[in-house]
A = this chain, B = another copy of it.
C-alpha cells in the first residue's frame, strides 16, 4: 500500500493553510513549462465517468483582456450597489481581482454536452460535470501554490457576457476565471476578507449532523 509520511501530511496542511485567493501580483512572467506542469493537475483530477469536461481558454489579447475587465468592473459596481453602511465602505475598499496585473488569465469552462464518459454518473446530477471541473481547479490551485505561484478565482463576472465575448461554443458554461502570477506579498496567513473584517473563518472542522 502506498503510504505518505507524517512530514508530508504536515506540509500538505501547511500548503492548504497558505493557499489563499491571490489578488495582488507583482510583475514577472510565468514560465510556460511551469504553467504546463501545474495544469497537468487537471488530468490527475477526478471527473464524473472520466468525462474530463474541462475546457481552458487563455485570455491574452489586449482587446479581450479589456472586455473581461469591463465585465468585472460593471458586475462589481452592481454588487457594491447592493450594500449599504459599513459593508458598503468595506466592499468599496476591497481588491477583488488581479485582472489588471496577472500575467496569465484563464477562463475555465465545462462542456455540458461532452460525449466523453458516456454520461456515467451524471444522469440524476448533471451538475457533476461542473463539479468535476471545480475539483480539477482545486488540484491545480494547490499544485500552483506549491510552486509559489498565486492563483485568484474571480466570480464577479456576468458569465453569459463573458462567454459571448470569448466566442466559445454554446454548450460550454463558465466555471471560473483564474488570475495567475507571482504574489506581490507574503501575507498568506489569513484570507484578505478576514483581515479586512468582512467575515471570520470557523476555527475548526465543520460539525456533523447525525441522521
Q: Of B8, B138, B157, which contacts A146 at CB under 8 A? A: B8
CA distance A46 to B117 in the complex (A): 28
The copy count of this chain in the complex is 2
Q: Hey, which chain B residues are within 8 Å of A138, CB to CB?
A: 45, 134-135, 138-139
Q: A151: nearest residue on chain B (CB-CB)?
A: B46
* Size bracket of the A interface: 35 or more
Chain A interfacial positions (CB closer than 8 Å to B): 1-4, 8-9, 11-19, 21, 36-37, 39-46, 48-52, 54-61, 64, 75, 78-79, 82-83, 87, 91, 96, 106-107, 116-125, 127-128, 130-131, 134-135, 137-139, 141-143, 146-148, 153, 155-159, 166-168, 174-176, 183, 186, 188, 191, 193-194, 198-211
Kindly list the 6 A-B residue pairs having the minimum CB-CB distance in the complex, ordered from nearest. Answer: A50-B199, A39-B205, A134-B134, A138-B138, A16-B44, A40-B205
